[in-house]
Structures are given as C-alpha cells and as structure tokens.
A and B are shown apart, each in its own frame.
Chain A
Amino acid sequence: MGFGSRDEIVSVFDSFREELDANNDRRERIIKLSREITILSKRTIFLLHRIATSDNKQDTPDAATDKERNTQSESDDSLVTAERKLQEIRMKPLKQLALDIPSQSVYWQHEKSITPGIQEYIEAVSYMHFIKTGQLIQYEEMKKWLSDDSGVLLIPLPFDEFLLGISDLTGELMRFAITSIARGSGRAKAEDVCSFVRKCKADFERFTPYVRELSKKQQTTKQSMQKIEEANYAVKLRLAEFQSSPDLLDDIAKRSITLPQRRPMDENNNGDIETD
C-alpha cells in the first residue's frame, strides 16, 4: 500500500505523463476540428444570408409573392448548395471529430472544446431549415445532422447545446433583418422574421434559469428586436398620416434605423421625417 521508493513514484508518474499527454493531444485535435467546423459553418451562414436577401428586391405584399415564385428556382439552387455544404461538414470534419469522442465520458471531458464548433453548426443548419420551411428545426431533426448515414448519433446533443445554438440563430436572424431594412429593402420579410423570433424568444425565456449563457443571448436578441419594432413604428405612423408608396416606406424604415437617436414625435411635426 503506497509507494515507498523513488522508482515506484517515478513509475506511477510516468503513467500520469502518458495519460495527461494523451488528453492534451486529444484536446488539441478536437479544438482544431471544432475550429474548422466553425469556419465552414460561418461560411454557410453567409451564403444563407445572401439567399435570404435575394428574395427582397421588391417588397409590397403582392409583388413579393410573385417575385418569390419567380425567384424560387434561383433560391432553391442556392439552398441546394447550402445543404450540400452542410452535408459536407457532417461527412468530413464532424465525422472526424466524432472519432475523438468515442464515448459519452470523453464528450463531457472535452465538452468545452467541442461546443463552439457544434453551436455554430447548429446555427447554420437551423438557419437553412428556417429559410426552407419558415419553422424552427426540431430537436430530433437536428440530431440527424449530428448522425451518420445509418442514423447512429456521432456526437451527443444535450438540450443546452441545442438551445444555445438555436438562440444564436435568432440573434443572427435579427441582425439580418436590421441589415435588410437599413439597406432600404426587405421590410416585409423582416416582419416575418421578427414575429418568428418573437415567438422563439418567448419560448426560450422559461429556459434561461437553467441554461447559463442563454439569458445573455436573449438580451442580444431583444435589443435587435427593439430596433426593428421602432422601424415598424416609424413606418406605421407614416402610413397612417399619408398614403406612401412602398419605396418611400422602405426609406422611412431605413432612416429610422440609421438615425443615431430616436426623436420623440412633437406637435409641430407635420409628418416629414427630418433629416439630420
């Protein structure tokens, strides 16, 4: 019982050395792959942004649906590309990552290194799903994106992880919506996005006490949502006072977002939005 001689002590520390080295090596491999997954996922998200904005050339309700029908095929092609890219992530770096996560134990051991890549990937997948279906991806569906072709789960997906990745999506969607409005187009689409995100945010609120970073992400989403609400407010006012053409409405919305401060409406304001 116990180690009495230097030889014995040195020998046990030798085994520690092996163990710690193996852990470190594994961690570094995981970090590298996680980073790769992050980069590839981010690229896909940019692609999805472009796909989403390409529908927004015109924005009146009727024109939008006609345009959407016409541009459907174009978007589909790009959506196909996006899906392909995501499949590539799944078949290559994700699968490789899974090789270094042979068990649940190891997953939890290296969870902090695994998480950044996976969350970014979840964001990309759920974004694509949203563009395709207008819905939030379900947990079981998400798991398929973390499984191999025969349905075997490659990487565990705790609920926290899932929620954080989705919450990243809503944050991203809001930023996209603001950008569209600030560019002077995409108001109707932004409205859709806004109501979708509002619903998500409401759903997630109950989880915030349980998932650590969730409330921070909710905050970010809320700020973005407020900006859009103010833009919609400015537009509604203008509509109520005057019948404006759709382009002007977009312009109003755009200014309300790019104005450095929101000015309260005063009595003397005859409806003209004052420039700086």
Chain B
Amino acid sequence: MDPKELEIIMETLEEESILKEKIRDAASDMEKSIRVMMATLTGIHSTRRDQLDVLLNSTEQARESCKKPLATIAQIVPKHQYWRWKDLYARHIQNLVFIIVLSDYLRSGKLSSIQDISDCLGLNPEWHNEVHIQTEDYLQGIISVINELSRFAINSVTLGNFEEPFKIQRFASDVFAGFSMLSLKNDALRRRFDSLKYDLKRIEEVVYDLRVRNLGPAGQSQGQSQE
C-alpha cells in the first residue's frame, strides 16, 4: 500500500477511535445522573400522591446535569453521522425518555412528545443530524413507562389512592392503541410491544378489582356500568 495513503488512513482511524472514547466518556457522565434519577423514581411506589411532586422535583438537578454531556456529543460527532455513533449512548437516551415521560405523566397525566423531551434535555434542533431523540428510542422509553405504571397502579391502591389506576388505564390503553397502529417487524420493538399487552391486562385487572368493590372514583366511571 502506498505509504502516504497508509498514513492518511491511520490518522483518520485514530481520530475516530479517540472520538469513540469521548462519546463513551460523555455517555458515562450521563450514566451516573441517570442512575440517581432512576433510583429516586423507584420511590414513587411508596410515596403518597400529594408528596409525589416533591419527589419528582428532586430529580431536577440530575436531569440538568445531562444537558452538558449531550451537548458535548452533539459537538464532537462529525456532521451527519448521528446514526454512526448513536448505539454508544442509545440506552442512555431510552432511560432519559423513560424518566422524563414518567415524571411528566405523573405531574400532568399527559404523554410528552419527542419535542418536549428534546427541549427538556437542551437538544438544539440544529443538532438533529448529529444527535436527536430517535423514534425507536422514544418508543422503547414509553413502553418502559407503561411497564412501570402497571406496577404503580397496584401500589397506588395499596397506598389508598383509588383514582390513579383509572387514569393509568386510560393512558395505557391510549398508548396501546397508538402502538397497535405500527406495523412492527420482528425486532426488539416488536418483542417489547408484546409485553405492553401484559401490562395493560394487569392494569385492567386492578381497575376491575376496584370497580367490583365500588372503589372507583366517584362519578367518573365514564358511562360504563358498574358490576
């Protein structure tokens, strides 16, 4: 091989190797904050509804600290190479989606959009070709949220909150309806979609248990006859 060519190739490969390391470093910076937030959020299962907001707000700082690593990644990834490097930190993105969607739902009962999450993480739309929240990562995060909520439904009842499961049931079935519209191939998303059905079933069982005992929210049975 021509020595000059060897040199050029070598240089480029070395640069890319360094780049990979830097992205990994940024991802691991996020990892610590993400762990902290995930740990905090496990507390929702044992927190009374009126104290939930305080718990959720306590994750604010950790969430803020994720902005910088993401901005770093956006700066160092060469133009248009989002897809080349995304796998190095895709898991972290999915976790962040989970954290934000869950928190937002618990606060407002709504499903946050990709735009909402991007804003929350300080992701500049101009960075799109270098870093963005990819649809599949967003969907994966949502499925994790529903999974968490099915557990939360059960624990809410235990904590004496009989309204929550009904809200969760409506939310989960809306999300499920959305997912059902996708023609999923035989991949990771498809497998997790199947888990969604089980979560929905669990939630419906909780709702049934409450209805049957007339423990649902007063007057909010939405026109459905009680057993």
Contact = CB atoms under 8 A, between A and B. Distances in A.
Nearest to B20: A210
Nearest to B17: A210
A1 B110 contact: yes
B183 to A, nearest CB: 6
Contacts of A159: 9, 12-13
A136 interface: yes
A10 B178 contact: yes
Interface residues of A, number: 38
Contacts of A108: 80-84
Interface in A22-80: 24
Given A9-B177, A16-B135, A159-B12, A2 B1 contact: no
Given A6-B174, A10-B174, A10-B178, A16 B139 contact: yes
B110 A2 contact: yes
A104 B83 CA distance: 10
Contact of A9 (B82, B104, B175): B175
Max count, chain A CB within 10 A of own CB: residue among B6, B83, B112, B116: B83
B5 interface: yes
B7 to A, nearest CB: 10
A2 B111 contact: yes
Given A14-B181, A16-B135, A108-B82, A4 B5 contact: no
B221 to A, nearest CB: 18
A203 B6 CA distance: 8
B179 interface: yes
A13 interface: yes
Given A9-B177, A12-B178, A16-B139, A105 B82 contact: yes
A207 B184 CA distance: 39
Contacts of A239: none
B87 to A, nearest CB: 11
A138 B139 CA distance: 44
Contacts of B181: 10, 13-14, 16-17
A210 B82 CA distance: 19
A9 B5 CA distance: 53
B85 to A, nearest CB: 9
Contacts of A111: 83-84
A262 interface: no
B4 to A, nearest CB: 10
B144 to A, nearest CB: 17
A14 B80 CA distance: 26
Interface of B: 1-2, 5-6, 8-10, 12-14, 16-17, 79-84, 104, 108-113, 116, 129, 135-136, 139, 174-175, 177-179, 181-185
9 closest residue pairs by CB, A with B: A2-B110, A13-B178, A108-B83, A104-B80, A210-B13, A109-B83, A108-B84, A6-B174, A203-B1
Given A2-B111, A20-B182, A139-B9, 12 more contacts: A1-B113, A3-B110, A9-B177, A12-B113, A12-B178, A13-B181, A16-B139, A16-B178, A21-B183, A104-B79, A105-B80, A105-B129
30 contacts: A1-B108, A1-B112, A1-B116, A2-B108, A2-B111, A2-B112, A2-B113, A2-B116, A4-B108, A4-B110, A4-B111, A6-B174, A6-B177, A9-B174, A9-B175, A10-B178, A10-B181, A13-B177, A16-B178, A20-B136, A24-B183, A105-B83, A111-B83, A139-B5, A139-B9, A160-B13, A203-B1, A206-B10, A207-B13, A211-B13
